A and B are shown apart, each in its own frame.
Chain A
Amino acid sequence: MFSWIRKGLRTGILTTRYPAAHDRMPEGFRGRPVIDPARCLAGQGCSACVALCLPSALYLTRADNGTGEAHAPAASLTLDIGRCVMCGLCIDACPADALRMVEEYELAVTNQEDLRVTASYAIGPDQLASRKENHDGTSA
């Protein structure tokens, strides 16, 4: 029994107080994902990240353009941190580098709504028209 007491005393106190001493997260740590609306192509019909999101933490809300098209441009892209499992597949899938993961890992909020981050896109009639042309293959 004395050997354990000696062992414990030799080891000393190794725990740190929270949150006084923040541990730096290692490079490549998968923390909170962030959308950059300026780069995101969801407004132009891209849904690469949404297709790969297993827990449906990323979802598109379609613009009501009345066409019912499968590839209709999105009006907004929402990221629900409450559902996210931080797998990082969306980051790799994004063709425009509009998604990245930051070091932040303290994700607790007091209001469930605060877990949802929404990027909205204005959809003009011009965009709809050009999108249709692309689908027909008549214009690059």
Chain B
Amino acid sequence: MIRFEDVSITYSDQPEPILRDINLLLEEGELVLVVGRTGSGKTTLLQAINGLVPHFTGGTLSGRVVVNGRDTRTHPPRELADLVGVVPQDPASAFVADTVEEELAFGMECLGLSGEVMRRRVEETLDLLGLNDLRYRPLMTLSAGQQQRVAIGAVLTSHPKVLVLDEPTSALDPGAAEEILSALQRLVHDLGMTVVMAEHRLERVVQYADRVIIVPGNAQPLLIGTPQEMMREAPIAPPVVELGRLAGWNPLPLSVRDARRVAGSLRELLVGQEPPIRVISHVDSGTPLVQAKDLTFRYGPHVALKSVSVQVHGGEVVALMGRNGAGKSTLLNAIVGLRTPTSGTIKTHGVDPISLKGVELLARVGLVPQSPGDLLEATTVAAECRAADRDARVVPGTTRELLSSLASEIRDETHPRDLSEGQRLLLALAIVLAARPPLLLLDEPTRGLDYPTKIRLVDVLRNLAPAGHAIILATHDVELAAEVATRVIVLAEGEVVADGKTAEVVVASPMFAPQVSKILAPYPWLTVSDVVNTVGPVILRSHAPTSGDAFA
């Protein structure tokens, strides 16, 4: 279906090729997962499939890419539109029409299909993706998960043989991600569609893949194989795989179901044991850093928060979870005084945050927004750091020092836009921390982050909490919450539906439980490192159902 022959791709402003000598054959009806660090060339590989590279992006492509007999050298993207459907990373930025139904029809109109065919396909696609209730809705009023489904539907109506998706679940809550993945499963199994998908959230997708392509970056050769083969050696893997590798399970489980089947003896080991307790250095039990009382936010007819009462003390790491649109961002914005509540009160550090401005605000609370790039205005990292020192009225050099401790490889003269997603996040974090706010808020920090950067972020957060900082994370990432949070608050429809210690809240929830706890239920262990700390690596290994595996 898709054939790469000796493909090398070089962008015009770079001396070295980003991908070199790629030979690849993807069969019909395959679900192929492409993994790799940010900037490794994943997106380039995906865009080469429909000719966006090099027709649209520029650069040189040597060798050839052939899709179903059509060579991308002679066929620009629009001539492949009936064959390859491409869903970009941020679906909202690619919408053309203004309502769902018109968006679904746009591609077909370009292909010149007849009215009856279009009508039929729109109806079929609305059903296939469960969008019928939304058909007349303006696209801008949809939630992120709905937008993602519309974007997929919009390319499906052209009946392509290949579907290419760039991080389809990274912005979604676990429930919406499940919906997308099951829709993709159906396309592969029922319609024999070839799906090529890049994704950082391996824990969500690796079990569905037929093959995995690892893009190592720096034009190194691609690694291709079945998920089992690839996960055995991948430097970073989802928790279920990590646990499987440590325990020496063979075959390596990729899904919670497979792991539970072989985890019986491990669960027996845990009987009577206590999971390690998260250290909460309850430094001050005096004035809470956040004190919300009956907080309500209303935008027109839509209620974003419904009489929420929450207190957060120093030393706590709170994970704020819930669906897209449940009110997480609204709560964070209220804490920094970006929004005036409709009713109720909010006190940040004992003060109404609306009245706080400038350094008064910075010294009390810092928020790293969903797209950290918003905070950056200067043209170099150094200028950005100097500006942050000035804003926070601290000794010049403070921000750069902080940044070096978080990410020493970021150079002064780099333009912030040229940083990777993760580096931008760390720069924004350094800027926010410059004024040493006791309260740190992060909105979706792991969105679009690759695993190595995520691990670094987890380290940073773990070190901040004992230093007396309170941290509130709004996140969809259940594994992140399991790693760092001491407390989880679940919001639904603007109301607090659960609030308690991480283990108590997430273990009980099918949606928010991390993989390890699903495997080990009913025992409340949340992460691989917790399990290792309890039983010890040697015992864990010796309880493998099969032995003789070379990986530890």
Report if A and B associate in a common complex: no
| Residue ranges of A at the interface with B (Cβ–Cβ < 8 Å) | none
Using a CB–CB cutoff of 8 Å, the interface residues on chain B facing chain A are none
